[in-house]
Amino acid sequence: MTQQTTAETIATIGIDLGKNTFHLIGMDARGTIVLRRKIARGQLQSCLANVPVCLIGLEACTGAHHVGRQLAALGHDVRLLPAQYVKPFLKGHKNDYRDAEAIAEAAQRPTMRPVPLKSSEQLDLQALHRVRSRQIGQRTAVINQIRGFLLEGGIAVRQGPAGLREALPTLLAQRTDVLSPRMIHLLEDLAADWRQLDERIAALTRDIAALAQQNAGCQRLMGIPGVGVITASAMVAAVGTGAAFAKGRDFAAWLGLVPKQISTGDRTILGGLSKRGNRYLRTLLVNGAQALLRSPGHWSGHGFGRWLQAAGVRLHRNVLAVALANKLACIAWGVLHHENGYDPEFTRRTV
């Protein structure tokens, strides 16, 4: 079979992405392997430019969105698949060609839900959020380390970063009886690290807010109660317009804001929170819900106020926060997908 004939018979291609080399498996309409090739990263576009439009499967990983956009520009139907969806199709021992074959097999399944391709703007916004989240974790670690060192000297400070920030200068100046000069110098360095992290987090927050101001989806989301600039921009970075989900409940389930189901034998068994999907976005929505719960006097002004008041009587506060976060996720999906602003009256009519 000639190379041109082989290219014409290819219906599906699975690509195992690597740092410098890619492994390709091509299948015809019957699922027979007609192409097996290893190419360098820079050869991918030229290799697939002359292949007739076909289905191309990629595993969702670092760099997959960039490659996916390149192949989509050539006219191919590109599908990014989560790694856990590909693994059941892997046969025998693992190698790069078998990984590519498993990706091609999984991409052909009609019920397989692919990962939407992210634009470069979404990836930039996602990168800002990830760096900001990492630095917040580092700041928390610095604060905890300062508290630990103070406790070693028998000094306990009230809970919260604000209390420690206020008390630290006085402690370093006056408690020389229990803090050695070496320890005081070390705590001063940690306090400087704390200030530097505060400045970097504030700068990243400003960058995220500036990008959110330029995005219409973020502006619509910020009209929802409990959704601020951080949550709105994180949601746009993660799901774009929400087109990957058929309804808001699917989006909430993807976030892990639903009970874990272990049903069997016609028995519906629901456990605790599933905690699947995007942990960062789920945390932001739960935090936003908890902020709403702290102001019960304002509940009546929201479209879901009557539901919230009725649920508050029978549900534990933590359960209520998750239930409210689930509802906020459904509302947010509707605002993104239908490109309409938040309408409290519409929510009130449908609750």
- Give the pLDDT confidence score for residue 7 in this predicted structure: 64
pTM: 0.87
Asked if residue 293 lies in contact with residue 317, where contact means CB atoms within 8 angstroms, the answer is yes
Query: Half-sphere exposure (CA, 13 Å, Cβ side) for 40?
Result: 2
How many domains does the chain contain in total?
3
Inside any domain, residue 54: yes
Q: State the pLDDT confidence band at 178, using cuts at 50, 70 and 90.
A: confident
Q: DSSP secondary-structure letter at 264?
A: B
Question: What is the per-residue pLDDT across 248-269, written as a single tens digit (0 to 9) for each?
Answer: 999 999 999 988 888 888 888 8
Based on the fold, state whether residues 299 and 203 are members of the same structural domain. no
Based on the fold, state whether residues 339 and 222 are members of the same structural domain. yes
Question: What is the per-residue pLDDT across 42-91, written as a single tens digit (0 to 9) for each?
Answer: 899 988 988 889 999 999 988 999 999 999 999 999 999 999 999 999 99
Inside any domain, residue 103: yes
Based on the fold, state whether residues 209 and 220 are members of the same structural domain. no
Based on the fold, state whether residues 189 and 231 are members of the same structural domain. no
Inside any domain, residue 202: yes
Please check the confidence at residue 104 and state whether its pLDDT lies above 90.
Answer: yes
Based on the fold, state whether residues 43 and 135 are members of the same structural domain. no
- Give the pLDDT confidence score for residue 92 in this predicted structure: 86
Please check the confidence at residue 350 and state whether its pLDDT lies above 50.
Answer: no
Average pLDDT for the chain: 89
Q: Give, rounded to a whole angstrom, the gap between the first and last alpha carbons of the chain.
A: 63
What six digits make up the tokens of 34? Answer: 């007609």
Based on the fold, state whether residues 97 and 184 are members of the same structural domain. no
Based on the fold, state whether residues 164 and 243 are members of the same structural domain. no
Measured CA to CA, the distance from residue 10 to residue 54 in angstroms comes to 7
CATH code of residue 62: 3.30.420.40
Q: Which domain covers residue 58, as residue numbers? A: 3-107
Q: What angle do CA 168, 203, 336 make, to 5 degrees?
A: 125
Based on the fold, state whether residues 255 and 343 are members of the same structural domain. yes
